[in-house]
Structure 1
Amino acid sequence: MSKDGNYIHRSPRPPIDNQIPLNSQNVSMVDFLLVRTRPFSNQSALIDAASGRSLTFEELHSSIRRVSRNLIARHGIKKRDVILIFAPNSINFMVAFLGIVDSGAIATTVNPHYTIYELRKQVDDCGATLVFTVPELWDKVRDLNLPTIMLSTGNMRDAADASVPLTQFTDLLEEAFENPPIPDQCDNLGVTLRNNLNDDNDDKDGVTAALLYSSGTTGVNKGVVLTHMNFISSSVMVMMEQDARGEAPNVWLCFLPMFHISGLCNIAFTSLCMGNTLVVMAKFDMEQMFMLVERYKVNNIFMAPPIMIALAKQGKVTRFDLSSLGRFISGAAPLAKDIIDEVASLYPDVKVIQGYGLTESCGIISLVNPLMGAIPNGSTGTLVSGVEGKVIHTDTFKPLPPHQLGELCFRGPNIMPGYFNNMEATTITLDLEGWLHTGDLGYFDNEGRLYIVDRIKELIKYKGFQVAPAELEGLLLSHPEILDAVVVPLPDDQAGEVPIAYVVRSAQSSLTEKIVQKFITQQVSPFKRLHKVSFVTSVPKSPSGKILRRQIIQKLRSKF
């Protein structure tokens, strides 16, 4: 791991340059996918977990192009129009997304649990002109008064009086145009870009493919502009891991939501680009997950920390054949060492791997690679190919050497060009040298391994000392009777803030506040001790597994 005088860390992995097509700033991510997967045309690309319905890569290619051309011809979609996908995971979700970006339009995805207010806020911000959804969500969509395409069939009696055009997704799959030829070589992709994308000379950072909304470092949801090049780069960074292992295409399971960058890019798009078979679950269910592993011989499962915690707490599962499993990959939030150790001991033939990324980095920054030797638990591995990193002091902004805690900054071809129509937030987050200031607190060790400690703005300031909530949460989760926990600051006149915890006990637990406080006190410095413990039935989290700490803090502060 090399680092210069400014303590810039670089990836120990092979260079990414020879994996990226020439003229890459003008390359369509769909053309990239089609070229990569041409050899696998008769292999299953997507399988629906509930119905068993599947698409081969050849069928996927055809479906994408039909959706793309019918959007242009029948719905009048133009370059840079924004199209919203408001739906749970499905095969059609991925076909719709790829069809949208292939048409030259921009896809924006929305959490299906959003309220009407939250949905309207995103639509107003991005200016969406068309919606893909499902009948179950029509009540939230109808008031948008936008043309709507239903990704699935269902009870549409409530839509009989709709004042906007309604179309079934199957109508977009009608063969209205002859499929254009797939380019022979990735290096020629730049000249085969769709005609309606060709004149983006004013878009110096590449053609925009998607707007995914993130709170970023400033706390308010903003549209993260992600280009075709961002998606291609991010997928190549993950693909190189499978190529390095010399693995043939295998089977991945996707239950992380496709509206989130992890499910959309790290799992779905990347998996397809590798020629892997992707088994798609509409939502997570532990029993169904194990059943699908057995049925489809799943090799890799990406999961959020709460699922990894549940795996550790429930003990080894023996009623299903899990012999095909090779990797559990966790991201979205730091995972405690004790949890990693427990899962690894329960499933000794499965490698437990941590990774780290952000929406602003198109989902990937670092990843543990077992081929590079032992990685200490708690590390999110080393930087992926093509990414540089540094740590800066949170007050002086000066670069810091290894093992010193500060704000993590990264740059590379997967980093967003900015936030949609928000120059102020872009300027705060991206500096003039292209560094993405993440708002995450962490450090590199001497070997270039990355450790994520917490969010800077979520640090608890106790008499000038910084307390990282994630550290205390990890300790709490190491207790056998604690299923989940969150630590937040409580305003205090003398200390400024003190750490308190909300804890989910197991059903038969007899834990009390004093027992939990003593358990933590025995393991931490005095300024990190818990001043209050409350027992709750659940900890609020996003669909990607991140604790909604800000939501808890706001409710807590409203009481004072």
Structure 2
Amino acid sequence: MANSQRSSSLVDPRNGFCKANSTFYSKRKPLALPSNDSLDVTTFISSQTHRGTTAFIDAATDHRISFSDLWRAVDRVANCLHQDVGIQRGDVVLVLSPNSISIPIVCLSVMSLGAVVTTANPLNTASEISRQIADSNPKLAFTTLELASKLASSGISILLERVVDTLRAPGGLKVVGILSEMMKKEPRGQEVIRNRVNKDDTAILLYSSGTTGRSKGVNSSHGNLIAHVARYIAEPFEQPQQTFICTVPLFHTFGLLNFVLATLALGSTVVILPRFDLGEMMAAAEKYRATTLILVPPVLVTMINRADEIMAKYDVSFLRTVRCGGAPLSKEVTEGSFSRFSGGESEVRCGGVVVMGLNQTGELWLKGPSIAKGYFRNEEEIITSKGWLKTGDLCYIDDDGFLFIVDRLKELIKYKGYQVPPAELEALLLNHPDILDAAVIPFPDKEVGQFPMAYVTRKPESNLCEKKVIDFISKQVAPYKKIRKVAFIDSIPKTPSGKTLRKDLIKFAISKL
């Protein structure tokens, strides 16, 4: 995909394909981006005009925060972080928290200072989080008392969500502030002049799933985020002032970009659930008259399978849009959702373009103002010298310009929308004293999409069993990364250069179904 200058006479208006350079160009109009280079994404969003009233609702407590109260809280927290804690432009702040209204306030405050937000999955183990801390070197961590123990070994200063007995902070962690108190603190004296933020400054540092090994930090600048929000404003999937149900994790790029940033600019209301639960999600959709659901494919499959029960128990007449992504979505599931829930006209909308000819499969490369800067400490790895982002997705584009993602070059396992890197699990397996070799593959499952399955070669005379392998891994990883099936094999198939033939193992596993 590209947004660069090109001769319109060479581009097919139907699908955006230019035969001269074998590039697909977006059929959307170029974005009118702000010309001011000294602009942070928080200021850009807060300056948008709309008629929205309620910004966020906590579904668990029914606590609401209006747009005016939100921006007042963001400004107060930013002042406290700057004056009392010493957060400056370029400092990194870690967010380790379950979904809550607090996350948008913290993230927007941090970015307004020119500091960098990095997030961690609260389900991750302490060792997994410590590796991210070692790489990103945060100056401060925002967390809850329940999760603070996972930071105990880091020695990092923490900002807690609410008032607690500071003596209870685990591991001698230093509590430097309470978010709920910062939100109420009136500015004192003359306003302190903050460092000027540049659009090229890094705003967020989010970590990949680690397809080929350890996860890597991906830098996105304020300019990248502003372009993402600007596109949302220019061509929203939904009309302004809609009500969204958010069950996707806010630590993930999809949740952060959409529910912390883009929807605010439209004046929409986001109802935040702490975690996904189908019953709680549908109850919230009914209670708050939700117009939009954001789902991963396994959830949509469950909804289709339980459609009669859902329709009988909940009023979903206000629902207008279901957005689904994060894992493969079959044609059967898409059509099934229409037939079970649609009350009339239905539409599938897709976005994006690929580098190849029409109906030819190749790797998706992207280029545009919202594309991330690259990997932290290694921007060249995924960004070409000409600014193309290599996604690792295998795709094709049809005659109408619709993009279809068909596979991954690097074989991530998609479990309930979570991405699980096989290489990480393989490295752990090889630490077991009874395992000679191992390979991890995605095993298909109707309920969760895929789950990690391990092929293991035991050392001679070992009596290692499936349960022991599963237990060995489950103690070291987050729940979604657990191995759920093990098969023993004499040797792991590999190429002459020693690379695991994972696709051969996948075919073999499927043949046994």
Q: Could you give the per-residue CA deviations for residues 442-488 of structure 1, whole angstroms, max 9, x where no partner exists?
A: 1111211100011113299xxxxxxxx99x94xx74xxxx7755597
Distance 1:114 1:487 in 2: 16
Contact 1:328-1:352 within 8 A present in 2 as well: no
User: Quick one: percent identity of the two aligned structures?
Assistant: 29
> What TM-score, normalized to structure 1?
0.70
Among 376, 381, 394, the residue aligned to 1:420:
376
Is 1:144 matched with 2:157? no
Aligned match of 1:533: none
Contact 2:92-2:118 within 8 A present in 1 as well: yes
> What TM-score, normalized to structure 2?
0.76
Contact 2:396-2:403 within 8 A present in 1 as well: yes
Among 170, 177, 202, the residue aligned to 2:180:
170
Distance 1:121 1:257 in 2: 20
Distance 2:449 2:365 in 1: 30
Among 382, 395, 406, the residue aligned to 2:351:
382
Distance 1:557 1:124 in 2: 37
Distance 1:341 1:542 in 2: 33
Contact 1:135-1:150 within 8 A present in 2 as well: yes
Aligned match of 1:67: 77
Change (3 A) 1:161 1:444: closer
SS of residue matched to 2:17:
coil
Aligned match of 1:266: 258
Among 21, 28, 34, the residue aligned to 1:21:
34
Aligned match of 1:294: 286
Deviation at 1:548, TM superposition (A): 5.8
Change (3 A) 1:179 1:231: farther
Contact 2:362-2:396 within 8 A present in 1 as well: yes
Change (3 A) 1:292 1:557: farther
Aligned match of 1:89: 99
Aligned match of 2:10: none
Deviation at 1:175, TM superposition (A): 3.2
Change (3 A) 1:196 1:115: same
Distance 1:416 1:557 in 2: 41
Distance 2:160 2:491 in 1: 43
Contact 1:45-1:60 within 8 A present in 2 as well: yes
Q: Could you give the per-residue CA deviations for residues 69-88 of structure 1, whole angstroms, max 9, x where no partner exists?
A: 11010001111010100001
Letter in 2 for 1:48: D
Distance 1:58 1:292 in 2: 24
Change (3 A) 1:313 1:121: same
Aligned match of 1:310: 302
Contact 2:363-2:390 within 8 A present in 1 as well: yes
Is 1:278 matched with 2:266? no
Structure 2, unpaired ranges of 5+: 1-14, 414-440, 458-473, 493-513
Aligned match of 1:377: none
Aligned pairs, number:
431
SS of residue matched to 2:61:
coil
Distance 1:105 1:111 in 2: 20
Deviation at 1:174, TM superposition (A): 3.4
Aligned match of 1:8: 23
Deviation at 1:390, TM superposition (A): 3.0
Among 372, 376, 389, the residue aligned to 1:436:
389
Between 1:344-353 and 1:45-54, the stretch displaced more is: 344-353
Change (3 A) 1:265 1:55: same
Among 228, 231, 234, the residue aligned to 2:228:
234
Contact 1:313-1:483 within 8 A present in 2 as well: no
Q: Could you give the per-residue CA deviations for residues 283-314 of structure 1, whole angstroms, max 9, x where no partner exists?
A: 11111111111111100111111211211222
Structure 1, unpaired ranges of 5+: 182-193, 354-367, 370-380, 384-388, 392-399, 461-468, 493-537
Aligned match of 1:100: 110
Distance 2:406 2:399 in 1: 17
Distance 1:449 1:83 in 2: 38
SS of residue matched to 1:443:
strand
SS of residue matched to 2:236:
helix
